[in-house]
Amino acid sequence: MEKMYFDTCIVSGLAKNEFAVSRNEKIFEILKKYESKELDLVASELMEQEIAKIPAQYRTPHQSLYLLLGKIPRVGEILPNRMLLLGVGGGSRVNPVYKALREILPDETDAKHILTAMGNGCTHFVTVDERTIIRNREKIKPISEIKIVLPEELF
């Protein structure tokens, strides 16, 4: 079964009512397919952390929508430096996939989201971040088999 990871910008765009009707309808279709168990859908703890950083006067719609989406399971963040070096004196080092993502993506949080989606077995990373993530998805493709898509590119 396909497993979709929702990027924070999906919730943010819905909260700010900045999407075209066709994009809103596609997001609704994804949610309906999740509800009918046709696909798995997850968000992450990173989303909550990002929403908490929104200035207080703008945060409430984002938090409300995040809570309404509470039925969507939350997956734990995959930390970029938690790989233990066994047999080499112990310790940790930066995950090579995360390092490669950071060389492509200017925003550390974007790289963490993609790493978290990959580490939690997601097949698709659903985002509307065309400026950085979508623009660089061809560069990300050799690093990961996860499909980075706009909502309207599904189904």
Domain map (residue ranges) of the chain:
3-153
Place of tokens 């929508």: 65
Q: Categorize the per-residue pLDDT at 93 as very low, low, confident or very high, splitting at 50, 70 and 90.
A: confident
More confident position, 105 or 66:
105
Closest C-alpha to 151, from 35, 36, 41:
41
R_g of the chain, CA atoms, integer Å: 16
For residues 68 and 149, what is the distance between their CA atoms, to the nearest angstrom? 23
More confident position, 83 or 126:
126
CATH class belonging to 3-153: alpha beta
Length of the chain: 155
Q: Categorize the per-residue pLDDT at 87 as very low, low, confident or very high, splitting at 50, 70 and 90.
A: low
Interhelix angle 8-15/45-52, rounded to 10 degrees, is 50
> Both ends of the chain: CA-CA distance in Å?
14
Letter for the amino acid at 139? K
- At 74, which helix (H) or strand (E)? strand 74-75
HSE-up of residue 44 (Cα within 13 Å, Cβ side): 27
pTM (two decimals) = 0.86
CB atoms within 10 A of CB 124: 21
